[in-house]
Amino acid sequence: MRCLLKVSLPVERGNQAVENGTLSATIEDILADLKPEAAYFVAEGGMRTGIIVVDLKDSSEIPAIAEPWFLAFDAHVEFQPAMNLEDLKKSASGMQRAVKKYGAARKRAA
């Protein structure tokens, strides 16, 4: 299952990693293990934040993905299931079933 992994580094831990020169190398090492589809880095909520696209084969992979960030940076880590266009196209039949089953109820309630 494709997920957006959001990793936010507390300012103090991020500053320490910048000052001692380990920030980029540590992130690069973690990403080499993760082999993400994509990784982007932004400032969000005043913290250094990574938005990383990963493909989980099983939910049991979550600790192995999150722990390096916790251990290296005391990071806040969030997982959000996500779809690409191909996944969205595959979901059309499920959406249509929901429309047939629940769409009329929504109209009656309005």
In CATH, the number for domain 2-84 is: 3.30.70.1060
What is the value of pTM for the model shown? 0.84
What pLDDT band is residue 101 in, cutting at 50, 70 and 90?
Answer: confident
The DSSP bridge partners found for residue 104 are: none
At residue 110, the pLDDT reads 59
Q: Which has the closest alpha carbon to 4: 49, 44, 55?
A: 55
Ranges assigned E (strand) in 1-110: 2-9, 38-44, 47-55, 76-81
- Residues 29-88 pLDDT 10s: 999 999 999 999 999 999 999 999 999 999 999 999 999 999 999 999 999 999 999 999
The DSSP bridge partners found for residue 81 are: 3
Is 10's pLDDT higher than 90?
A: yes
Radius of gyration of the chain (CA): 19
At residue 55, the pLDDT reads 95
Domain spans, the chain: 2-84
Give the alpha-carbon dihedral of 74, 75, 78, 82, to 10 degrees. Answer: -140
What's the token pair of residue 89? 């196209």
What pLDDT band is residue 104 in, cutting at 50, 70 and 90?
Answer: confident
